[in-house]
Amino acid sequence: MKNKDIVFRDTISLRGPNIWTYPPVIETWIDIGELEDFPSSKIPGLYERLSAWLPGLVEHRCSYDERGGFLRRLEEGTWAGHILEHIVLELMTLAGLPDGFGRTRETTTRGVYKLVVSNFHEEVTRMSLDVGRELLLAAIADQPYDLDEAVRLLRRKVDRKYLGPSTAAIVLAGEKRGIPHIRLLDDGNLVQLGYGAAMRRIWTAETDQTSAIAETISRDKDLTKELISSVGVPVPEGREVDSADDAWDAAEDIGLPVVVKPTDGNHGRGVFIDLMTREEVAKAYAIAVEEGSGVLVERSIQGIEHRLLVVGGKLVAANRSDLITVTGDGKSTVLELIDSQVNIDPRRGTTELHPLSIIKIDTAARIELERQGLTGDSVPIKDREVLIQRNANHAFDCTDEVHPDTAQVVALAARVVGLDIAGIDLVCQDVSKPLAEQGGAIVEVNAGPSLLMHIKPGIGKPRPVGQAIVDNLFAKDASGRIPLVGVTGTHGRNTVAKMVAHLIHLSGQHSGLACTDGIYLDRRHVQKTNAANWEGGRRLLMNRSVQAAVIENGARVILGEGLAYDRCSVGIVTNIVAEAEDLSRWDTQPTGGEYYTTPRSIYRTQVDVVLPSGHAVLNAEDELVADFAELCDGEVIFFAVDPANPTLLAHLAAGKRGVTVADKRVVLRSGADETRLSRLVDAPYIGKARQPTHIANVLAGIAAGWAMGLSKEVLTTGLKTFGLDLADPAALILQAAKKSQPKKPATARK
Amino acid sequence: MDVSRIRALRGPNLWSRHTAIQAIVSCQGAEVAISELPGFEARLRERFPELGDLIPSDHLDTVSMAHALEFAALGLQAQAGCPVTFSRTAQTLDQGVYQVVVEYTEEDVGRLAFERAEQLCLAALNDTPFDLDGVLKEMRDLDEDIRLGPSTGAIVTAALARGIPIRRLTQGSLVQFGWGSRQKRIQAAETSLTSAIGEAIAQDKELTKKLLHASGVAVPIGRPVEDEDDAWAAAQEIGLPVVVKPQDGNQGKGISVNLTTEEQVRRAYRVAVDYRDDIMVEKFLSGHDWRLLVIGDKLIAAARRDPPLVIGDGTHTVRELVDIVNSDPRRSDGHATSLTKIRFDEIALARLEEQGLTADTVPGRGVRVVLRNNANLSTGGTATDVTDDVHPELAAAAVAAAQTVGLDIAGIDVVCDTMYKPLEEQGGGIVEVNAAPGLRMHLDPSFGKGRAVGEAIVGMMFPDGPDGKPDNARIPVVAIAGTNGKTTTSRLIGRIFESNGLRVGMTSTDGIYIEGRRIDSGDCSGPRSARNVLMHPDVDAAVFETARGGVLREGLGFDMCDVAVITNIGLGDHLGLNYITTVDELAVVKRVIVENVAPTGTAVLNAADPVVASMAHHCHGDVIFFARDRMNPVLATHRAQGKRVVHVERDTIVCGEGRKKQRIPLANIPLTRNGSIGFQVDNAMAAIATGWALGYAWDVIEGALAGFVSDAATAPGRFNVFDYKGATLIADYGHNPDAILALVGAIDNMPAVRRSVVISGAGDRRDDDIRQQTEILGDAFDDVILYQDACQRGRQDGEVIGLLREGLANARRTKQIDAITGEFIAIDTALNRLQPGDLCLILIDQVEEALAHIAKRIAEAN
């Protein structure tokens, strides 16, 4: 079977909505060569090998829409492209990515398929494709394959490149509210939520509201303590010390036991708790001072460590660490007691499915035992309680237990430090009781806290912290979106895009326009090379000053790059003239069943992404375009030069909106209502020539403006000024001079 | 000479509004008059020639060693560069014991000055040497170390000029502006609004460039290239001229700049690949280095930054030329002056080498020798202010850059030829955005005008209100002092604030309350507690009971208050402590809050108390007098002048200003029991006057008082009235003759078959004051039960009871006297005797415990 090979002919990264689906995908053109003659049923053992190597394939519901559906297809016989698609999806799942999208479609060339899979991260997807190909070839050839190693490498790549779990939770919560996101760093957690002027930024558990000074304060434990205790938040009393002797003096002042730790140390490095003797304090000082920031001596707070998460002044989640003790029976050793009293808990285990870990005597536990005069082999007397480990891992969600006063106190602590998101470390015996009566205290206020323990607590309910963060960044009904107009079609899209941008500018909003001529911010032409593409659109959406954006997209962008935006408020399709465009590179067929790429499947993408609250602006005089009306989640506004166009009339008859021409004027129609704008002849772009294509472009632009809710004045002014060369002040003066001459209608000359 | 009890007065105080060090200085023998110490003054002046004239402020005083210490401590600070002017030495009642007060600007420097001044005096006394230069250097270094740096200093100065209260939170540059819910913070050129993510983005140059490019700001864009052809393709995309360089290349190896032709680009690529594989083609920027400072949405300052250089004269070597330039007095080693010395180090030598020069080369006349590539001020570069030259589009690009990155204060580094044109027109670009930029080059540029950067930052942080008034970040602050009635008046005022929708922070002798929750207990009437309230982010208004202990110890916890209320001084309380022996001296302490009323503020003063009434002259703001008697001469005079007064007319409280009158029926103020409890009427008037002074609506003020309940739960120990088996029981924390007079006055209006009183005396009062309490009671009560306080405060067992008995010697009404040990036993004894219709006044000491005990007894009785 030597010649059975799969060759990747071409790989196209579609970074936005595309003909296949909304999220980014990679479209790989694969050539399966002679495997075209060997569906899976004809390759002995392939089904067995694949289902053994990738048991997860049983979850793929493909073809029969039921569990095991794909495996059934595999057994019955399917082709290599389709098999590879499922292998790649399964590999990405094994690598820790969410469930993805997959599709395989044949092309007009025999043996060549378009294989499409979700693209969560470009490098990961490409690597999965390569691994998948090797694995499939090995399975076909009945050769061994080191799947574990491949998955390990994939996982590593995901860990390094894909969003971290905290960030992913926030992004997901945003998505649920319809808030789009843009990743600003290829392998970091800096993410923009929302578009243009409505954007906010997050970086793991920091937001653009997170104050740099507050972070500085939170890193200085002593200052934090001073500030929060001054407003009545209980803290462990203590002070900074400058020598081992001073540390002991402080310990005696405060009262034993004490904690010794570095002033700005984090993550427990150099932190020593429950010190009782001068020797212990001196030893701890010597190690803590190595951290280089100064050393604190504090009252030891008795109890369990809790982590409370405050977002926007409210407690949103709380977590308790695992305090492990055993009780002596006078016969068993500590080690035995741990096994019989702790590790017997069925929730403890070594796999990911176990929420709690198996307790062993590690360094921390050994020190803890040593302090109690014990080792793992000691036999504690009957009923003696032995502490094995405190703060083992933050495993228990305890959000609902937190006493309301305590919730208030931790929120105050975050506010005093100045953090919008803070992880508060609290030590107390029982978090359901007020702190004062149990001597509990807040020991630390952390900026950029980990959210994982609240999103995925070992035991207890996951908490919607991502949602809390998003809700704190965005007002209740805000979606982080700005008015966004996408324009596509074969002809006229550049003109329409420019006109819409012109209307937005007239309305007083900062406009951004990405089109074939480049990028315009208001009237500034900041890029002069073609920007009617993904990159150009993205530039606008990443621009904080853009209050409304207009993005031009041709068929090539949809086929080769994907749209720059996930959804838009207005989607315009001017017209579709298949014969005027050479799209053979994408193997498009002017006609053809659902299995081929057609003009309809290309251009409908622009209508598919219209928001439910948005509008599609469609050419009623182009049958193919008019047909998109049924695909639109939002409202449809038709435009037609001919007021008698039947599609338009039917639409109006249904009480819907349309823009057309009547009495040589542009008119807005809504059911039976009519609003007249200016005369065609007053529109410089149309001028005396009155070419139907020019008129159609203007109607499309006006329809978009109307969809955006722009006023009649803006629309009229737009009509009368679009096409004038406004950039040249001299032209304006000339225009003004002409206007002062009565009865000479202004026309544009070109 | 012995110096003791050294304290820092950290707020306005008895002596002045300045921060100051205060100490008790005891002089012995001839030290009381230095004229008696032969040669002392001469020796002193010899050691410290800049010492000023030794003229005591109390000019009849003889000049003592304490005075010498005073002037030395002030003079040393002045010579070390601290702007201090105030000092004072006051004789105490004890012969040879003085209070010496010396202003400071930095507490640590002040303390050091005191210490060194003492050593100086001793050195002069004993004719031993004193190292003046060493001491001054030590003080200057300490001062430079702890005082605010120039950037933070400029912002703080601007804030102070606006009337914004400031508080340093650390020895470093972290400073809090404003109070309570209005507070914000700065740290050098960062504010509490400065985004941490913004800072992180600014640190990532490539990311910054990507975001700026997206925003349409000119940046030196570029991209990695694959081969020679691609390099030329990239050059054409980017636009010429370009730089070709290895990515992450260092020390300029393989970099070719200013390439304008295809041939140059191709050759540059071939050169670069010799060093590294990953080659970048980037837009080439040429011109000067500029720094544009953006604050909020405005360009505030711009400077051209020139690298350190020397100009040849044909005779001196480069090294000598650097020395000549560095001898300029404007150049220092640190940040204190507008220029820093040129650093002539390895980097400078390397830069010389690049130009084919050495340190010993003698450059020709007029030859410019650049000593560094970067133009940092700290290595000797210069800054020239060009703020007025910046083209508006260039300014707009800088603002867009700051906003794109997300910084409220940003230093934008620009490379271009001139400020007169937009960047695009001259092929310039923004190369870096800096968070927390240095402000020195704008505040005090080497050449050109300094700019009001601090003002711009403060203006951004605290924009003017909608009424156009500058925001001074203050919350309303009411300070209350007096012998009695402080707590009730504070609570009434707190209630008025609450009724106006404000969250109130309150300090009192029994704790700190924030929005009604006690966050600290114990005596919280000092400056520290006041500062804690002003620190609290949830406080919109503050009411401070201001006891004298804190004022004497540390000064006030705030610089100014909107309203100062003095309820009464009467015969005084706590006399004899801290060198305060007379009512007049006590009045001086209590007056401190009146002296520190804001110019726009008001003092609310009790006209019925002559000592209080006379404080009006010490107020910079307005005065509202209150007194029950409308014909009180002070009040009547004030009213006659059309000023504001509050008094009682039959059954209403009247607030009058000229002809305008506002009436509040006493029946609507439950606290006063229809006006029958005189001292509560006083408290209500003081609170109403305060609400009036703050400009609150009458119906809100009246509503607040109407809803105020004073019982054991809401105002423990403040005239709490109970019913016990048909007898009336009153518990109060009155502990001085004035309080007891007021209580007796109130009780006189309450019918009773038989009256009894339970009382103890606090040991720390003067004998007279203890005796006086029972003198008053003896004429009003039939039974008196004396008990010993839990803590005798330094008195012998039985001593206080003895004094109390003495006070009853001439009692006109008292028939039965008992002496009991233990507060609860005394209370029980009194309760056991009560018959229906009787009245019993219990002067409780341990407020919470005693009230709980009484409550328990009442519950048992029912």
Tens-digit pLDDT profile for residues A185-210: 888 899 999 999 999 999 988 999 99
pLDDT at position B582: 76
Flag if A190 and B198 touch (Cβ within 8 Å).
Answer: no
Mutate to test the interface with B, among A230, A408, A421, A538 (most CBs of B within 10 A): A230
Give the Cα separation of A267 and A280 in Å (integer).
21
> What residues in B contact A227, CB-CB < 8 Å?
169, 535
Question: Mean pLDDT across chain A, nearest whole number?
Answer: 89
pLDDT at position B576: 60
Give the Cα separation of A321 and A394 in Å (integer).
4
Asked whether residue A2 carries a pLDDT value surpassing 70, the answer given is: no
Mutate to test the interface with B, among A206, A211, A446 (most CBs of B within 10 A): A211
Token readout for A287 is: 């190690």
Give pLDDT tens digits for A301-339. 888 889 999 999 999 999 998 778 888 888 888 888 888
Where residue A749 falls among pLDDT bands split at 50, 70, 90?
very low
Give pLDDT tens digits for A568-586. 999 999 999 988 888 888 8
Where residue A447 falls among pLDDT bands split at 50, 70, 90?
very high
pLDDT at position A457: 87
The residue with greater pLDDT, A223 or B347, is: A223
Selecting from A201, A217, A542 the residue whose C-beta is nearest the C-beta of B214 gives A542
Give the Cα separation of B11 and B165 in Å (integer).
12
Asked whether residue A742 carries a pLDDT value surpassing 70, the answer given is: no
Give the Cα separation of B41 and B62 in Å (integer).
14
**Average pLDDT for residues A233-249, to the nearest whole number?**
90
pLDDT at position A540: 95
pLDDT at position A593: 67
Flag if A213 and B403 touch (Cβ within 8 Å).
Answer: no
Give pLDDT tens digits for B115-124. 999 999 999 9
Asked whether residue B452 carries a pLDDT value surpassing 60, the answer given is: yes
Give the Cα separation of B754 and B187 in Å (integer).
67
Where residue A1 falls among pLDDT bands split at 50, 70, 90?
very low
- The residue among A171, A84, A162 whose CA lies nearest residue A129 is A84
**Average pLDDT for residues A95-115, to the nearest whole number?**
91
> CA of A728: how far to CAs of A60, A230, A568, in Å?
62, 63, 33
Q: What's this model's pTM, rounded to 2 decimal places?
A: 0.86
Give pLDDT tens digits for B29-70. 888 888 888 899 999 999 999 998 888 877 667 889 999 999
DSSP conformational letter for A340: I
CB B40, CB B124: distance < 8 Å: yes
Lowest mean pLDDT among A277-286, B488-497, B686-695, B734-743: B734-743
Q: Which long-range contacts (CB under 8 A, 24 or more apart) does A726-733 make?
A: A726/A523, A727/A523
DSSP conformational letter for A339: I
- The residue among B583, B586, B624 whose CA lies nearest residue B605 is B624
The residue with greater pLDDT, B763 or B405, is: B405
- In A30-162, which residue ranges form alpha helices assigned H by DSSP? 46-53, 69-76, 80-94, 122-141, 147-161
Asked whether residue A731 carries a pLDDT value surpassing 60, the answer given is: no
Write out the residues of chain B at the interface with chain A, using a CB-CB cutoff of 8 A.
169-170, 174, 185-187, 190-201, 207, 210-211, 213-216, 237, 400, 403-404, 406, 435-436, 512, 514, 519-520, 531-532, 535-538
Where residue A729 falls among pLDDT bands split at 50, 70, 90?
very low
> What residues in A contact B184, CB-CB < 8 Å?
none
Where residue A748 falls among pLDDT bands split at 50, 70, 90?
very low
Asked whether residue A744 carries a pLDDT value surpassing 50, the answer given is: no
pLDDT at position A745: 47
Asked whether residue A113 carries a pLDDT value surpassing 90, the answer given is: yes
Lowest mean pLDDT among B132-146, B298-312, B547-561, B785-799: B785-799
pLDDT at position A628: 95
**Average pLDDT for residues A541-554, to the nearest whole number?**
95
Token readout for B829 is: 């004894």
- Percent of the residues in chain A that have a pLDDT greater than 90, as a whole number: 65
Q: Can you point out the beta strands (E) in A455-608?
A: 484-488, 511-515, 518-521, 524-527, 548-552, 568-573
Q: B625 φ, ψ to 5°?
A: -95, 145
CB A573, CB A596: distance < 8 Å: no
Selecting from A208, A542, A545 the residue whose C-beta is nearest the C-beta of B406 gives A208
Asked whether residue A49 carries a pLDDT value surpassing 50, the answer given is: yes
Using CB atoms within 10 A of its CB, is residue B640 exposed (0-12), middle (13-18) or buried (19+)? Answer: exposed
Closest CA of chain A from B280, distance in Å: 19
Asked whether residue A740 carries a pLDDT value surpassing 70, the answer given is: no
pLDDT at position B206: 82
CB A86, CB A102: distance < 8 Å: yes
Closest CA of chain A from B148, distance in Å: 17
pLDDT at position B748: 80
Rounded (to 5) percent helix, strand, coil in chain B = 40, 25, 40
Where residue A55 falls among pLDDT bands split at 50, 70, 90?
very high
**Average pLDDT for residues A538-554, to the nearest whole number?**
95
Flag if B216 and A202 touch (Cβ within 8 Å).
Answer: no
Query: How many CB contacts within 8 angstroms connect chain A with chain B?
Result: 110
Selecting from A209, A220, A543 the residue whose C-beta is nearest the C-beta of B215 gives A543
DSSP conformational letter for A506: H
Flag if B196 and A447 touch (Cβ within 8 Å).
Answer: yes
* Residue B354: other Cβ atoms inside 10 A: 11
Nearest residue of B to residue A184 by CA position? B207
Give the Cα separation of A108 and A105 in Å (integer).
10
The angle formed by the CA atoms of residues A101, A103 and A105, to the nearest 5 degrees, is 165
Give pLDDT tens digits for B4-31. 889 999 999 989 999 999 999 999 888 8
Flag if A212 and B199 touch (Cβ within 8 Å).
Answer: yes
Sign of CA dihedral B295, B297, B298, B299: positive
For residue B534, what is the enclosing H or E element? helix B527-535
Flag if B403 and A545 touch (Cβ within 8 Å).
Answer: yes
Give the Cα separation of A561 and A17 in Å (integer).
9
Q: A2 φ, ψ to 5°?
A: -65, -35
Mutate to test the interface with A, among B215, B294, B297 (most CBs of A within 10 A): B215
Nearest residue of A to residue B189 by CA position? A213
> What residues in B contact A416, CB-CB < 8 Å?
535-537
Give pLDDT tens digits for B179-232. 999 999 999 899 999 999 999 999 888 889 989 998 889 999 888 888 999 999
Selecting from B187, B194, B535 the residue whose C-beta is nearest the C-beta of A231 gives B535
Where residue B133 falls among pLDDT bands split at 50, 70, 90?
very high
**Average pLDDT for residues B375-381, to the nearest whole number?**
78
DSSP conformational letter for A530: -
Question: Mean pLDDT across chain B, nearest whole number?
Answer: 89
CB B377, CB B438: distance < 8 Å: yes
Asked whether residue A125 carries a pLDDT value surpassing 90, the answer given is: yes
Lowest mean pLDDT among A26-30, A161-165, B819-823: B819-823
The residue with greater pLDDT, B475 or A287, is: B475
Where residue B563 falls among pLDDT bands split at 50, 70, 90?
very high
Q: At what angle do helices B196-203 and B205-214 cross, to 10 degrees?
A: 100
Q: What is the DSSP string of A66-98?
A: STTHHHHHHHH---HHHHHHHHHHHHHHHTTPP
Asked whether residue A709 carries a pLDDT value surpassing 70, the answer given is: yes
Closest CA of chain B from A115, distance in Å: 28
Asked whether residue A110 carries a pLDDT value surpassing 50, the answer given is: yes
Selecting from A231, A418, A524 the residue whose C-beta is nearest the C-beta of B185 gives A418
Scanning the structure block, which residue is given the tokens 């010649």?
Answer: A3
> What residues in B contact A220, CB-CB < 8 Å?
170
Flag if B196 and A519 touch (Cβ within 8 Å).
Answer: no
Flag if B400 and A206 touch (Cβ within 8 Å).
Answer: no
> What residues in B contact A232, CB-CB < 8 Å?
512, 514, 519-520, 532, 536
Asked whether residue A389 carries a pLDDT value surpassing 90, the answer given is: no
pLDDT at position A592: 66
Flag if A217 and B400 touch (Cβ within 8 Å).
Answer: no
Where residue B565 falls among pLDDT bands split at 50, 70, 90?
very high
pLDDT at position A363: 75
Closest CA of chain B from A417, distance in Å: 10
- The residue among A640, A514, A633, A486 whose CA lies nearest residue A572 is A486
Q: What is the DSSP string of B677-736?
A: SHHHHHHHHHHHHHHHHTT--HHHHHHHHHT---STTTSTTSSEEEEETTEEEEEE---S
Asked whether residue A420 carries a pLDDT value surpassing 80, the answer given is: yes
